[in-house]
Amino acid sequence: MPSRVIFGASTRHQLAAELERLGLKRPLLLSTPQQVGMVANLGATLPQVAGYYGRATMHTPTHITEDALAQLQSLNADSLVALGGGSTTGLGKALALRSGLPQIVLPTTYAGSEMTPILGETQDGRKTTIRDLRVLPGTVIYDVELTLGLPVLISASSGMNALAHAAEALYAPDANPVTSLMALDAVRALARSLPRIVQNPSDLSARSDALYGAWLCGTVLGAVGMSLHHKLAHVLGGSFDLPHAESHAALLPHTVAYNAAGVPEVMRQLAGALGTDTAAAGRYALNGRLGNTLALRDLGMPESGIEEAADIAMEKPYPNPVPLERGRIRDLLACAWVGASPQE
């Protein structure tokens, strides 16, 4: 993907120079409500800003995008700077799609969305996805220091979200040797770094390793197609407003188990990268070690939603290593709803 990546420690201080290099003078700075202080500190390092928008929301609801777009137009901004995780990055992408303005992203989580030309938007309880180079950020500034304040539980679930990208990249219909190498290295990097972060959230080396893994995961997510796991994650987010990263983490062992029989060599590689006997059980065990929520019911999904989610997942066909069967998907969701061990 044609993005410029700046990676290291204290790299956020290169934002002003990057805006100058691009000839941009009036950025609109985006954040979630929880990160308005952080984005204000970032804006103070710039010679000029058009303004701030601090209402980025999970799953990129279109009414928030329209509100931000009105402010963007009133301020006559010439660019977008997004500081945060998938919520803020998603808003920046949605605004870029509608305005044509260039984007710079400074990630604070391991979501990986910043490396993809993919935008997921939610309207009327349904989340839809588009793939369009117009939403791909032009510059991504990875500053490991921005992840030091990421709470342990969010770090853990965000890291498992990234691992989902790597897993599905390995059995994507358009996978290739390069994306597969990147995906496996990402799994190794995250498997060794996330437990260290849980033990010591200030471990800069572990944080850097995790951010490197997240960059790899985002890169492969943007390069190849995704399958059942990402479809179900979008259903849970768009239709039930479940937290994005936590839903990915809870689902991942079960979607891997669903596909295990269809791609045994990929499962062997995934298990090897994790250092476990099987891929699905290894991810379930890693979730437990990291303290992630194992059950969808504990994330707010109603039991009645199992049938609805299975129906939505079957509405539009999409590539998957094994056939998509409503009954099996329903059983997968039921298992994930109670947080039981995955059924291979």
Give the Cα separation of 243 and 233 in Å (integer): 10
pLDDT (0 to 100) of residue 339:
97
Q: Using CA atoms, how far apart are residues 65 and 232, in angstroms rounded to an integer?
A: 23
* Rg, the chain, Cα only: 19
Distance in angstroms (rounded) separating the CA atoms of residues 51 and 73: 11
CA distance 324 to 295: 22
pLDDT tens-place values along the chain, 344 residues long: 788 999 999 999 999 999 999 999 999 999 999 999 999 999 999 999 999 999 999 999 999 999 999 999 999 999 999 999 999 999 999 999 999 999 999 999 998 999 999 999 999 888 888 999 999 999 999 999 999 999 999 999 999 999 999 999 999 999 999 999 999 999 999 999 999 999 999 999 999 999 999 999 999 999 999 899 999 998 998 899 999 899 999 999 999 999 999 999 999 999 999 999 999 999 999 999 999 999 999 999 999 999 999 999 999 888 999 999 999 999 999 999 999 999 86
Of 3.40.190.10, 3.40.640.10, 3.40.50.1970, 3.40.50.300, the CATH number of 4-147 is: 3.40.50.1970
Per-residue model confidence (pLDDT) at position 126: 84
Residue 122, H or E segment: strand 118-123
So what CATH class is 152-338?
mainly alpha
Helix, strand, coil % (nearest 5) of the chain? 60, 10, 30
Buried b (16+ CB within 10 A) or exposed e, 117-129: bbbbbbeeeebee
Task: Check if 4-147 and 152-338 are the same fold.
Answer: no
Contact 136, 97 (CB under 8 A): no
What are the start-end ranges of the H helices in 260-304? 264-274, 279-290
Residue 100 has what pLDDT? 97
CA distance 157 to 293: 8
Position 335: which residue type? C
Domain ranges (residues) in the chain? 4-147, 152-338
How far is the C-alpha of 20 from the C-alpha of 92, rounded, in Å? 20
- Residue 73 to residue 133: CA distance in whole angstroms: 22
- In terms of Cα–Cα distance, which of 64, 74, 246, 266 is closest to 155? 246
Question: What pTM was estimated for this model as a whole?
Answer: 0.92
pLDDT at 124: 86
pLDDT, one tens digit per residue, over 182-235 is: 999 999 999 999 999 999 999 999 999 999 999 999 999 999 998 999 999 989
What pLDDT does residue 1 have?
A: 73
Local structure of 279: helix, strand or coil: helix
Query: Which is nearest to 248 in space by CA: 74, 112, 108, 100?
Result: 112
Q: Where are the beta strands (DSSP E) in 16-92?
A: 27-30, 51-53, 79-84
d(CA 282, CA 240): 27
